[in-house]
Chains A and B, each alone.
Chain A
Amino acid sequence: MSLVPEIDFGTPAARSEKMVTLTIDGNEITVPEGTSIMRASMEAGIKVPKLCATDMVDAFGSCRLCLVEIEGRNGTPASCTTPVAPGLVVHTQTSRLKSIRKGVMELYISDHPLDCLTCAANGDCELQDMAGAVGLRDVRYGYEGDNHVKARSNGETNARWMPKDESNPYFTYDPSKCIVCSRCVRACEEVQGTFALTIEGRGFDSRVSPGMHEHFLESECVSCGACVQACPTATLTEKSVIEIGQPEHSVVTTCAYCGVGCSFKAEMRGEELVRMVPWKDGQANRGHSCVKGRFAYGYSTHRDRILNPMIREKITDPWREVTWEEAYAHTAAEFRRIQYQYGRDSIGGITSSRCTNEETYLVQKLIRAGFGNNNVDTCARVCHSPTGYGLGQTFGTSAGTQNFDSVEHTDVVIVIGANPTDGHPVFASRLKKRLRQGAKLIVIDPRRIDLVSSPHVQASYHLPLRPGTNVAVVTALAHVIVTEGLYDEKFIRERCDWSEFEDWAAFVAEPRHSPEETEALTGVPAEMLRAAARLFATGGNGSIYYGLGVTEHSQGSTTVMAIANLAMATGNIGREGVGVNPLRGQNNVQGSCDMGSFPHELPGYRHISDDSTREIFEKLWGVTLNDEPGLRIPNMLDAAVEGTFKGIYIQGEDILQSDPDTKHVSAGLAAMECVVVQDLFLNETANYAHVFLPGSTFLEKDGTFTNAERRINRVRRVMTPKNGYADWEVTQNLAQAMGLGWNYSHPAEIMDEIAATTPSFALVSYDYLDKVGSVQWPCNEKHPLGSPIMHTDGFVRGRGKFIRTEYVATDEKTGPRFPLLLTTGRILSQYNVGAQTRRTDNVLWHEEDRLEMHPHDAENRGIRDGDWVRLASRAGETTLRALVTDRVSPGVVYTTFHHPMTQANVITTDFSDWATNCPEYKVTAVQISPSNGPSDWQVEYDELSRQSRRIKGKLEAAE
């Protein structure tokens, strides 16, 4: 094994189709017009010495090391900033160049510490490499002059010297090793788009400065690590590398956090993970990452991880560690007993959007073939089920229409109900890059998210709607487009059903849908909404990106359809730069939906009542499948409370913390006789479990994740599972204990079964993925290379379907007792229920959930910033600390839900989407009052958690 090779071409690739031929060191080479001489050389295999150039950022021309000579031209131009031209004859190595380069290196080294042997970058230092490349043997200037290297110079304190900045938990900044190449500054600007770094001072005084000469942690830095990756020396270095040393081999795998699905190289030393470095060839992230993917993997070795299976009779008992065999036998016996006693439909299971496609497939297979019912559901129920329904109805497929690269071609972007800079940071960076190139942005969100206004980004319009009025706003946009004649008639006539369009157009054109009429309802100024609609309809390629702020409403599915209508009406489907793009929350939520996790659907979104589909699986699995849809998660809980549902197998989901109306969830779980939880940690749901099966991390197994753009990415095992088994093996062993004759020896075999049974995966196999890197489904005979963009020659369902979208106000209304609207969201450093990120140093950025409220609402209630407040709804109450800010409008409050103590879902109600039961997390009527501390429920719950986490023979683990 060795490190995955990656060539640094020095400057980004040129996009021109016109080719240019030139001669470099006697080699003739042909490259696209606009390519730098440096990149052209590298493509011919000639490495021109360089320091300030790297292909993740544009050429800068500051280090003066990459100079070349060109016949017929004067001087020694920098090869990074000089583009190729036809017929050029370039020499990269002449006696003149050699002496210039040596002189430059002498200057660099005269102000650089000579501690190579004990330096963290030893073996991975471009300065060291360049000293070798130019043959540096001596530094004529000596080391005693002015320098940034020594704390004391000539007996006096050296004012130029700056101490190491170790404030960031994941990397250090050592100014004494900096050569001021500006790579970090440019990476922060061009790649990440945060602009947190600058060069302060000028001349010899120049130093890299986070913020205004601040520490990294206090600056605007979001810790994405692009600067660390760009740094050619040890100035910015991962703390893990400082501690462990340089990696010796690396494996390409896929991040297990959000739905962007970034490709990473896991750089290893033996079985120890040294660092995660985004893979340049990763087609979702193109070499970029965020703080979670790159740095927050420490949970995988956290001491809280449970490594042995455990059983207990009652949830009030302490846990008892058992062998795997006993755990399987016990679970199988319990499930069979319950089914014997209460009927075949009395058990079910939940698949995980965090696990691989193969694992998800096995869990639903276990339930359908082993349990003999269709009581399978997944956490997509609580996030993007309306996307599946809405896009399925209008377009014919339950997925986004574009790849992430598409954003590079968009001209007008609507971001609705999504906060990409926190939830999908790598996509946000790519979006911001396009915005800096001039694309326009419309944000529809109750809260002033960062995209509305941040360095070099300014939304053209921010429509701050009242939570719960999405349908009214999107329909009003359509009203403007239809009544002002801005729709794309040619597209609609060619691609959609014209009579359905006419019906829909007549509906949206009704005066009651006009922005002026809906203003009182939505709070969005009519003029602004009209202007936004005109911009979207006439501004060129229009794309819509949306998140859970769209789906998690009582009208989630309706909003998705309204968005689809808008895209079709403006002709923004079926090519690059346009489309409808759900930003999916979890790494494999797309995959878990694809794999038949819903009670009514077999893999590939085929309805369970469809005889021919059922037959495929029945033949292969040798069982008869129930043709009736099973229970959804909320139905399972209802049935449990009623006493007809008694056992559940939950793989990798913490429904107690993540599902709405916590008290209802806990009552349902408490009413069951066998709750089996498979997870990395004793999560909140495990407080109600009878069997705990330890899970494995994404670093410990093979498989695939499918990201938000339908991209099937390989997950590769880099270390032995600490718990002994990958999750698919645990499910298989449990199935065997229940009498099923499964015998998969590798997840590749599971994927082969998926491909054999599911048309949209027909050509997918591990060999194929190894060959092409990744592929976007559908991947079959018709689309052998996958489908980056869907509906290119016509909609999957035939003709695009316009559907009327009537606004119906949610039943969750404000009133005198609950006058404020609570909406929820995420933050960059934490991930969902936080089970992973809370067990990393990411807590430094967000150690507790805070309640954002407008100064006006705060003042009315006598609440100051940082005060404890009681947050009460019709469902329950909790306490947390207030954050007074004008990011939210008066009347709206906002919180995150990353910490179990907050129990934000004690507050949320059990209202849900009319079509899919996706809970209405985003709207809860609440009241807020000052408080002294935790609520009774929080105190009780804390005690219950402590009690239920006891393990016999072990000291109580501190949370």
Chain B
Amino acid sequence: MNVHVTGSDVGARTLAIVSELKGLEGPLLPILHEIQAEFGYVPQESLPVIARELNLSRAEVHGVVTFYHDFRDHPTGRHVLKLCRAEACQSMGGDAVAESIKALLGIDFHQTTLDGAVTLEPIYCLGLCSCAPAAMFDGEVHGRIDADLAKDLIAEARS
């Protein structure tokens, strides 16, 4: 889910999330997950609030957020399709599938279709090597992806 909200709103909602979770041991990652769940990405405006509340520096929070590719700094499309690009999937024809999907969507990795329906991301790896090539569509894994299955997923996304 992507929500576009104003800066001050981001601050207030971040603060609410942080207040709820700061008692956890090692609260930073759970907070970041919750923020991404709330906004669909981790807004830059959230970082200073998290830092202040957890007695961390802005730099430290930034370091953690940028370390994990899964934390996004901008909104995605309505759906996210992640294609596994690791060795096993590549050896099972993942490259060809990736090319066909890119062609279908008319975008490259890290891009979102113009209608805002799908964001395409590479991922290394889903741990689903036995069913390579693998993909993840809105958090749900799909094995043995081929051009047809990809077409179905995209149709579902655009519907």
Contact = CB atoms under 8 A, between A and B. Distances in A.
B63 A455 contact: no
Nearest to A457: B55
A195 B57 contact: yes
A196 interface: yes
Contact of A455 (B47, B57, B62, B67): B57
Contact of A220 (B44, B59, B66): B59
Contacts of A453: 52, 55
Interface string A151-195: 000000000000000000000000000000000000000000011
Contact of B59 (A209, A456, A457): A209
A198 B58 CA distance: 9
Interface in B60-103: 60-63, 66-67, 69
Contacts of B52: 453
Contacts of B51: 455
Contact of A200 (B44, B56, B63): B63
B8 to A, nearest CB: 15
Nearest to B68: A202
A50 to B, nearest CB: 24
Interface residues of A, number: 22
A212 interface: yes
B55 A200 contact: no
A454 B55 CA distance: 6
A219 interface: yes
A194 B51 CA distance: 13
A212 B58 contact: yes
A455 B66 contact: no
A220 B61 CA distance: 13
Contacts of B66: 200-202, 209
A200 B60 CA distance: 9
A219 B51 CA distance: 13
B55 A198 contact: no
Interface in B20-71: 44, 47-48, 51-52, 55-63, 66-67, 69
A198 B48 CA distance: 14
Contact of B55 (A194, A201, A210, A455): A455
Given A212-B44, A212-B47, A455-B51, A196 B63 contact: no
Contacts of A455: 51, 55-57, 60
Contacts of A209: 59, 62-63, 66
Given A202-B67, A212-B44, A212-B47, A197 B55 contact: no
A195 to B, nearest CB: 4
Interface string A451-464: 00111111000000
A201 B67 contact: yes
A198 B59 contact: yes
Given A202-B67, A212-B47, A454-B55, A195 B62 contact: no
A213 B52 CA distance: 17
A456 B60 CA distance: 11
Interface in A201-251: 201-202, 209-213, 219-220
Contacts of B47: 212
Contacts of A197: 59
Contacts of A211: 57-59, 62
A212 B48 CA distance: 9
Nearest to A220: B57
A210 B48 CA distance: 14
Given A212-B44, A212-B47, A455-B51, A195 B59 contact: yes
Which of A197, A211, A454 has the most chain B CB atoms closer than 10 A to its own CB? A211
A454 B60 CA distance: 13
A226 to B, nearest CB: 14
A200 B68 CA distance: 10
A126 B79 CA distance: 49
Given A212-B44, A455-B51, A199 B57 contact: no
B56 A210 contact: no
Contacts of A194: 57
B56 A456 contact: yes
B69 to A, nearest CB: 8
B146 to A, nearest CB: 30
B57 A196 contact: yes
Nearest to A188: B59
A212 B67 contact: no
B58 A220 contact: yes
Contacts of B59: 195-198, 209-212, 219-220
A404 to B, nearest CB: 24
Contacts of A212: 44, 47-48, 58-59, 61-62
B149 to A, nearest CB: 31
Contacts of A199: 63
Contacts of B44: 212
Which of B52, B66, B69 has the most CB atoms of chain A within a 10 A radius of its CB? B66
Contacts of A201: 66-67
Contacts of B58: 211-212, 219-220
A839 B13 CA distance: 45
Nearest to B61: A212
A219 B48 CA distance: 11
A198 B56 contact: no
A211 B48 CA distance: 10
Nearest to B67: A202
A200 B44 CA distance: 14
A479 to B, nearest CB: 32
Contacts of B61: 212
A191 to B, nearest CB: 15
A247 to B, nearest CB: 31
A593 B67 CA distance: 54
Contacts of A202: 66-67, 69
A196 B69 CA distance: 22
A201 B47 CA distance: 16
B7 to A, nearest CB: 15
Nearest to A202: B67
A654 to B, nearest CB: 37
Contacts of B57: 194-196, 198, 211, 220, 455
Contacts of B62: 198, 200, 209, 211-213
B74 to A, nearest CB: 14
Contacts of B63: 198-200, 209
Contacts of A219: 58-59
A457 B56 CA distance: 9
Interface in A449-489: 453-458
Interface of B: 44, 47-48, 51-52, 55-63, 66-67, 69
22 contacts: A195-B56, A195-B59, A196-B57, A198-B60, A198-B62, A200-B62, A200-B63, A200-B66, A201-B67, A202-B67, A202-B69, A209-B62, A209-B66, A211-B57, A211-B59, A211-B62, A212-B44, A212-B58, A212-B59, A453-B52, A453-B55, A456-B56
Given A195-B57, A198-B62, 20 more contacts: A195-B60, A200-B66, A202-B66, A202-B67, A209-B59, A209-B62, A210-B59, A211-B59, A212-B44, A212-B47, A212-B59, A212-B61, A212-B62, A220-B57, A220-B59, A453-B52, A454-B55, A455-B55, A455-B57, A456-B55
Closest 10 CB pairs of A and B: A198-B63, A195-B57, A212-B62, A198-B59, A455-B57, A200-B66, A211-B58, A202-B67, A212-B58, A201-B66
Interface of A: 194-202, 209-213, 219-220, 453-458
